[in-house]
Amino acid sequence: MRSDEVKKGYQRAPHRSLLRATGLKDEDFDKPFIGVANSFIEIIPGHFYLNKVAEIIKDEIRKNGCVPFEFNTIGVDDGIAMGHDGMLYSLPSREIIANSIETVMNAHKLDAMIAIPNCDKIVPGMIMGALRVNVPAVFVSGGPMAAGHMEDGTAIDLATVFEGVGEYEAGEITVETLTEMECNACPSGGSCSGMFTANSMNTLMEAMGIALPGNGTILALTKEREELFRAAARRVCELAKSSEDGKFNFRNILNENAVRNAFAVDMAMGGSSNTVLHMLAIANEAGVDFNIEDINKISKKVSHIAKISPSLTTVHMEDINTAGGVSAVMKEMNKRGGDVLADNLTVMGDTLYERIANAEIKDSTIIHTIDNPYSEVGGLAILFGNLAEQGAVIKTAGIIGDRSFKGTAVCFNSQDEAIEGITGGKVKAGDVVVLRYEGPKGGPGMQEMLSPTSLIMGMGLGDSVALITDGRFSGATRGLSIGHVSPEAAEGGLIGLVEDGDEIFIDVDEYKIELLVSEDEIAKRRANFEPLVKPLKSRWLRQYRALVTNASKGAVLEA
């Protein structure tokens, strides 16, 4: 066992002495040591109960002859951090989480790991850390929350409230209605109930084979979820005791097939655009040769068959669970033929094809059949052109209005400027909002910008205004919203040279995004261009800005 390095032999008497201080007995030193990586934090709805989840998991680990050691990572709630400078810390937190996993697991030579994530940057951060450690690891998330409901029975969620702010600004709803939304949208603990970033990543863990079936859809705080926790705990003990040396090390599960399967399922279910950023970072950690250009190739082979809030506001994760879950989606995807999904080993010891063999769609109004897709291509796309030579991301599943758009640029150099301009009436039908200096370096930290997109939707401009940014969006964003523009403004990208009144052309089906300005004019502007550098007091954010790459590379840190 890897842990023998800290617990076996006379030279490790001091180490055992310290371990005895934590409650270990003689018999424990012959058992596998399991790291229980928890993301419990009281301010995040998907995490405030994970301390109790860890107790369930540790109990099951002990029953199965292993020794659990719980440790915690940090977490940021993007919804609470959004709309102010707290969001600068969100994406950087992914790197702290990955570093924490690597540090604790390797410093103490733990044999295997069970990870308990749930929301946003916490999921990919834990995955990235597990890839570095490369011991057997099982992931089991806290689970999605149930959808909320208005008094008339209308299903709502967090995106409803953000868009409600825009509706209130436009005078379309009363403060009483907005308050009703606020009080009912998030009815329980769990990751927000739609296919936002958290549930997108929790779903993709099933596609990657690193979590058990049901991980993305079984509701939080239910008996069914507790059974999933216990099954995951039993499995990590089996892996820690396995005689199949190295077979289930994490990189053998999360390999190139797993990465490509994750992107395919993302396309079929219209996941958050943030998944592109995180899966590129995960591919980098896994040593997988995967480029952003590959995403469109996958999209062309995948039909979009499940539409979930915010793309379809009446459908939430609980509905997908009832309709057959992610396994049913994957089985139906494969009926298209070709190499839509690759067979691959899962953490449970079966292959992906074996896992989905008996799955079935139980409600074809929720999970469509391959013969009746929402779209013949996937729910995400990468656009290229002079405005995004290294790519830009759009959640095509959330488009409102036409998929081709030509409009007039209205430029803002920060999210705050954009919010003020949108609420102040500066943005009108036919405009393209250009929101820059919010990328990984420019922000820094690539803020999620649900507030500007929600204001546009709430003010009734969702089908007549486009928004492009070198920042990123919440998974709750919908409309013609294009993010991750690379190169970003802070590194000299063309988005920094756009001026008010310029024409911009977008064609989603042709994967194009172009600034319709002559090369001579661009060269003239570039000759006098100096990217804006925002002042920073935070030493950590200055370090992050110095090391981070742009979104086309997953915003990973360069050593």
Examine the fold and report which residue of 323, 356, 389 is the final residue of a domain before the chain moves on: 356
Residue 143 domain-assigned? yes
381-407 burial string, b = 16+ CB within 10 Å, else e? bbbbbebbebbbbbbbbbbbeeeebeb
Residue 135 domain-assigned? yes
The predicted-structure confidence for 130-176, as pLDDT tens digits, reads as follows: 999 999 999 999 999 999 999 999 999 998 998 898 899 889 999 99
Looking up tokens 């690193």 gives: 210
The predicted pLDDT at position 476 comes to: 58
> Per the structure block, which two tokens stand in for 178?
């907005």
Residues 218 and 116 in one domain: yes
Residues 391 and 267 in one domain: no
Residues 313 and 459 in one domain: no
Identify the residue with better confidence: 228 or 479.
228
pLDDT exceeds cutoff 90 at 427: yes
The CA–CA distances, whole Å, from 474 to 79, 129, 217 equal 9, 23, 19
| Distance (Å, whole) CA 441 – CA 533 | 9
Residues 166 and 227 in one domain: no
Residue 537: how many other CB atoms lie within 10 Å = 6
Residue 420 domain-assigned? yes
| Distance (Å, whole) CA 522 – CA 512 | 18
The predicted-structure confidence for 64-112, as pLDDT tens digits, reads as follows: 999 999 999 999 999 899 878 999 999 999 999 999 999 999 999 999 9
pLDDT exceeds cutoff 90 at 243: no
Residues 310 and 199 in one domain: yes
Examine the fold and report which residue of 135, 162, 184 is the final residue of a domain before the chain moves on: 184
Classify 385 as helix, strand or coil: strand
Residues 131 and 165 in one domain: no
Tell me the percentage of the chain whose pLDDT exceeds 90: 87
Residue 46 domain-assigned? yes
Residue 522 domain-assigned? yes
The predicted-structure confidence for 259-313, as pLDDT tens digits, reads as follows: 999 999 999 999 888 999 999 999 999 999 999 999 999 999 999 999 999 887 7
Nearest to 137 by CA among 27, 26, 253: 253
Residues 135 and 156 in one domain: no
Residue 129 domain-assigned? yes
Looking up tokens 């946003």 gives: 120
Mean pLDDT in residue range 185-189: 95
Residues with catalytic function = 474
The predicted-structure confidence for 65-76, as pLDDT tens digits, reads as follows: 999 999 999 999
The CATH number for 264's domain is 3.40.50.2300
What does pLDDT average to over the chain?
95
The CATH number for 526's domain is 3.50.30.80
Residues 50 and 80 in one domain: yes
- Confirm if 151 and 106 have CB atoms less than 8 A apart: no
Residues 157 and 239 in one domain: no
Residue 329's pLDDT band (boundaries 50, 70, 90)? very high
**Containing domain of residue 162, as a range?**
148-184
The predicted-structure confidence for 484-494, as pLDDT tens digits, reads as follows: 999 999 999 99
Residues 391 and 248 in one domain: no
Mean pLDDT in residue range 370-389: 95
The predicted pLDDT at position 166 comes to: 85
Residues 201 and 242 in one domain: yes
The predicted pLDDT at position 475 comes to: 60
The CA–CA distances, whole Å, from 223 to 157, 212, 540 equal 23, 16, 41
What predicted TM-score, i.e. pTM, was given to this entire model? 0.94
Count of the separate structural domains present in the chain: 4
Residues 322 and 425 in one domain: no
Residue 559 domain-assigned? no
| Distance (Å, whole) CA 236 – CA 34 | 8
Residue 161 domain-assigned? yes
